[in-house]
Amino acid sequence: MSHLRIPANWKVKRSTPFFTKENVPAALLSHHNTAAGVFGQLCVMEGTVTYYGFANETATEPEVKVVINAGQFATSPP
């Protein structure tokens, strides 16, 4: 996950409603990936989110750690 930009010609296929730490979708709290060819993008509206990127679903140590502050976006490439 980084500060990449999604290409302008790509289309939004789906998005989640706003959520807080109390109602974050459970799938986002465990190892998960986007589908092939799909960008992921996270916008933090308030507070801070720490993203941990793992090599695969069995990895126990993250390869990547990104701190995303309020007002920032972070994008994960396909």
What tens digit of pLDDT does each residue of 18-60 get?
A: 999 899 989 888 888 788 888 888 899 999 999 898 888 899 9
Which two three-digit tokens encode residue 47? 């507070």
Handedness of CA 10, 24, 53, 75 (dihedral sign): positive
pLDDT for 53-67, tens place per residue?
888 889 999 998 999
Identify the pLDDT of residue 7.
Answer: 82
The confidence score (pLDDT) of residue 47 equals 94
pTM: 0.75
Residue 76 DSSP class: E
Structural domains for the chain: 26-76 (2.60.120.10)
| Whether 41 contacts 51, CB under 8 Å | no
Q: How far is CA 23 from CA 27, 70, 73, in A?
A: 11, 18, 20
pLDDT number for residue 40? 86
Long-range contacts of 27-31 (CB under 8 A, 24+ apart): 31/56, 31/57, 31/59
